[in-house]
């Protein structure tokens, strides 16, 4: 018997098939891992299960009855609870109030505060939270907040609990408490859908696994029967047919780095709570260093930290032998570090401004006198990069928001190159852009490296990473677990390095 069943469900967004006939079964008492890289369709599936989205095809069955959740409220009432990465509680209310929100114990029609506080304390101690329940929730550590969310979900008679990356902000000790709670839920027959990229955790706590890739189901079955390396290759691998259709990447594969040259970028022991632990590597001029790893391994954080846009507890960054102390984006740009962020729309382009202004944005002081911008100098730069990167826009005055994804990305790269960087940090430079633009961006990366730039490349596309990089530094849970050089730079070696088991320390 199944608790929750998804049969051939599809969900289509304009231009994308986010879910393509995906089926999925959750049994009572089962801890079911749901894995896949970005864009695989995990979030869409979860949103279909929780009533946020309506499926465009297929069937949903809940407790062996056909089910339809029109709103998230419907799903919740039916007993499907979701605990999101960002805790969705009311930070300004007390812990106890959050726990009992909407179901407060009453006395004579008024909220019985004493009883509520007492019961909240009892319940939460079972979750390893031993704080004053009258405190504002927002003052608790994130881990404790998550436990409150979990306790609340279980209290409202949840039969299915969906956890989306529940451990991403937890201490190792808190993770163990969470696992204790999960085992308890498991014993009570509650079905759990567990989304995470930490393989060690999956193998510790999950019974079954479902792997999605590009909106399709690629595997479902018992997790213990699936080797780690197989799991990783199922997540990352592309179909051979697809590779043949799209052709390989546009990278030339020729190494351009001078092995004896002094590194242009030295990164030493970057540490950031929960996210990065002693991350170190070098990049020589002309070298493309790939950062490999699964989602959440700390690749984007590393890149942002080097660019001064992510908090570091400690660590050293040197550009051309000069220390970049207290990195901020402003200082990093001045040191010759250029960062292309992962989320082009949210952190890259300024959609309302023109192509021209987007390109010139980071170099305004250089094209102006006494604070007045010289149009001639701007035009010169804009013209040069629009030609070099073959940016297709009706005119330099077209708003960047109206361009295709590939051209938006090129505008962003033009902005970075205009600053005359020594090091280029690229986070998913070809995500969400069409094949033609993708090839252009890839050969541009080669060209730039050949001109002597140091490049750091992050890509979830294993082939792009392997073919584009001279060396690959592999991260897992914020730790460098291996470096692939020379002949080792292959997808197989990448996957096996990602899949190696973590040393047992906790």
Partner 1 sequence: MSTETVAARPVVDSARLKAWLPKYGVYAAIVLLVVYNIFFTPYFATWSNLRIQLIQVAPIVIVALGMALVIGTEGIDLSVGSVMALAAAFIPLYLGYGVVAAILVALMAGVAVGLINGILVAKVGLQPIVATLALFVGGRGLAVVISEGKLVDIRNDDFLYLGSGDLLGIPVLVWIAALLVLVVAFVVRRTVFGRRLLAIGGNRPAAELAGLPVKRVLITVYVVCAVLASIAGLLSVARIQSSDASSVGLLIELSAITAVVVGGTPLTGGKVRVLGTVAGALLMQLVIATMIKHNLQPSTTEMVQAVIILIAVYVARERKTR
Candidates 138, 329, 432, 452; binder of partner 1 (CB under 8 A) is 329
Q: Which helix (H) or strand (E) holds 239?
A: none
Q: Which residues contact 394 (CB under 8 A, 6 or more apart)?
A: none
Give yes or no for residue 339 binding partner 1 (CB under 8 A). yes
Closer by beta carbon to partner 1, 295 or else 350:
350
Under rule CB under 8 A, residue 373 binds partner 1 = yes
Interaction between residue 309 and partner 1 (CB under 8 A): yes
Site size toward partner 1, by CB under 8 A: 29
CB of 12 to partner 1, least distance (A): 16
Q: How far is 389 from 410, CA to CA, in rounded Å?
A: 6
Q: Considering only 116-124, 149-157, 253-261, 329-337, which stretch makes contact with partner 1 by CB under 8 A? A: 329-337
Q: Does 332 bind partner 1 (CB under 8 A)?
A: yes
Binding to partner 1 by residue 362, rule CB under 8 A? Answer: yes
Provide the minimum distance between the beta carbon of 84 and partner 1 in the complex, in angstroms, as a whole number. 21
| Cα 221 from chain centroid (whole Å) | 25
How far is residue 64 from each of residues 3, 5, 52, 61, 356, measured CA to CA in Å?
A: 7, 8, 21, 6, 58
Strands 31-35, 16-26: parallel, antiparallel or unpaired by DSSP? Answer: unpaired
**Host H or E run for residue 215:** none
330 belongs to the binding site for partner 1 (CB under 8 A): yes
Task: For residue 12, state whether it binds partner 1 (rule: CB under 8 A).
Answer: no
Q: Report yes or no: 497 and 474 within 8 Å, Cβ to Cβ.
A: yes
Listed ranges 142-150, 177-185, 207-215, 358-366: which one lies at the site for partner 1 (CB under 8 A): 358-366
Distance CA 103, CA 106 (A): 9
The answer to the question of residue 7 lying near partner 1 (CB under 8 A) is no
Q: Give the binding range for partner 1 (CB under 8 A) out of 91-99, 289-297, 338-346, 430-438.
A: 338-346
Asked if residue 301 lies in contact with residue 276, where contact means CB atoms within 8 angstroms, the answer is: yes
Out of 131, 139, 252, 419, name the contact with partner 1 by CB under 8 A: 419
| Residue 404 lies near partner 1 (rule: CB under 8 A) | no
Bridge partners of 427? 458
Smallest CA-to-CA distance from 284 within 456, 434, 150 is with: 456
Q: What is the DSSP letter of 264?
A: S
Binding flag, residue 432, partner 1 (CB under 8 A): no
Task: Decide: is 364 part of the binding site for partner 1 (CB under 8 A).
Answer: yes
Q: Which stretch binds partner 1 (CB under 8 A): 161-169, 312-320, 342-350, 388-396?
A: 342-350
Q: Which residue from 342, 327, 338 is spatially nearest to 363, judged by alpha carbons?
A: 338
Beta carbon of residue 332, minimum distance to partner 1 (angstroms, whole number)? 7
Q: How far is the CB of 309 from partner 1 (least distance, A)?
A: 6
Q: Kindly tell me which of 365 and 503 has the beta carbon lying closer to partner 1.
A: 365
Q: How far is the CB of 310 from partner 1 (least distance, A)?
A: 11
Please tell me whether residue 196 adopts helix, strand or coil conformation.
Answer: coil
333 in contact with partner 1 (CB under 8 A):
yes
Cα torsion through 387, 391, 392, 396, rounded to 10: -80
Nearest CB to partner 1, comparing residues 278 and 380: 380
Pairing type for strands 208-213 and 216-222 reads antiparallel
Q: Does 365 bind partner 1 (CB under 8 A)?
A: yes
Distance, CA of 261 to CA of 470 (rounded, Å)? 15
Q: How far is the CB of 373 from partner 1 (least distance, A)?
A: 6
> In angstroms, what is the minimal distance from the CB of 381 to partner 1?
13
Among positions 77, 103, 222, 334, the unique one binding partner 1 when judged by CB under 8 A: 334
425 phi/psi in degrees, rounded to 5: -110, 115
H helix runs in 271-374, sequence order = 299-306, 329-334, 355-360
Shortest CA distance to 495 belongs to which of 235, 128, 178?
235
Which spans of this chain sit near partner 1 (rule: CB under 8 A)? 307, 309, 329-330, 332-334, 339, 341, 346-353, 357, 360-362, 364-365, 368, 371-373, 415, 419
């Amino acid at each position: 018997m199944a608790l929750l069943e998804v049969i051939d469900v599809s969900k289509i967004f304009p231009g994308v098939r986010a879910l393509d006939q995906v089926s999925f079964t959750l049994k009572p008492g089962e801890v079911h891992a749901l894995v896949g890289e970005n864009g695989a369709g995990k979030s869409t599936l979860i949103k279909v299960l929780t009533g946020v989205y309506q499926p465009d095809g297929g069937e949903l069955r809940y407790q062996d009855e056909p089910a339809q959740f029109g709103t998230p409220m419907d799903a919740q009432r039916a007993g499907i609870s979701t605990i999101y990465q960002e805790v969705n509680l009311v930070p300004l209310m007390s812990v106890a109030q959050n726990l009992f929100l909407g179901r407060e114990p009453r006395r004579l029609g008024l909220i019985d505060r004493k009883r509520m506080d007492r019961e909240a304390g009892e319940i939460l101690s079972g979750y390893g939270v031993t704080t004053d329940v009258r405190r504002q929730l927002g003052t608790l550590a994130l881990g404790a907040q998550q436990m409150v969310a979990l306790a609340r979900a279980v209290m409202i008679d949840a039969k299915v609990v969906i956890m989306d990356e529940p451990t991403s902000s937890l201490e190792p000790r808190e993770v163990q408490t969470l696992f204790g709670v999960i085992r308890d839920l498991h014993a009570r027959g509650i079905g759990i859908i567990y989304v995470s990229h930490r393989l060690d955790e999956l193998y510790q706590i999950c019974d079954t696994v479902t792997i999605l890739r590009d909106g399709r189901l690629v595997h479902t079955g018992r997790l213990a029967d699936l080797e780690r390396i197989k799991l990783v290759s199922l997540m990352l691998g592309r179909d051979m047919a697809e590779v043949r259709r799209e052709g390989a990447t546009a990278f030339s594969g020729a190494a351009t780095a001078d092995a004896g040259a002094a590194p242009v970028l030295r990164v030493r022991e970057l540490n950031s709570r929960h996210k990065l632990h002693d991350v170190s590597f070098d990049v020589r001029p002309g070298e493309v260093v790939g950062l490999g790893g699964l989602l959440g391994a700390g690749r984007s954080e590393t890149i942002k930290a080097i660019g001064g846009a992510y908090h570091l507890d400690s660590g050293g960054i040197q550009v051309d032998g000069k220390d970049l102390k207290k990195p901020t984006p402003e200082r990093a740009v001045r040191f010759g570090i250029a960062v292309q962020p992962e989320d082009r729309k949210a952190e890259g382009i300024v959609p309302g401004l023109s192509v021209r202004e987007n390109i010139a944005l980071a170099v305004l002081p250089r094209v102006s006198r006494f604070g007045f911008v010289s149009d001639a100098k701007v035009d010169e730069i804009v013209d040069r990069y629009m030609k070099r990167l073959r940016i297709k826009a009706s005119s330099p005055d077209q708003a960047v928001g109206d361009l295709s994804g590939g051209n938006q990305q090129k505008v962003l790269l033009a902005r970075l190159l205009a600053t005359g960087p020594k090091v280029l940090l690229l986070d998913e430079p070809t995500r969400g852009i069409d094949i033609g633009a993708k090839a252009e961006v890839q050969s541009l990366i080669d060209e730039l490296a050949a001109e002597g730039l140091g490049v750091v490349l992050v890509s979830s596309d294993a082939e792009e990473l392997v073919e584009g990089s001279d060396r690959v530094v592999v991260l897992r849970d914020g730790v460098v677990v291996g470096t692939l050089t020379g002949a080792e730079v292959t997808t197989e070696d990448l996957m096996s390095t990602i899949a190696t088991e973590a040393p047992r320390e906790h």
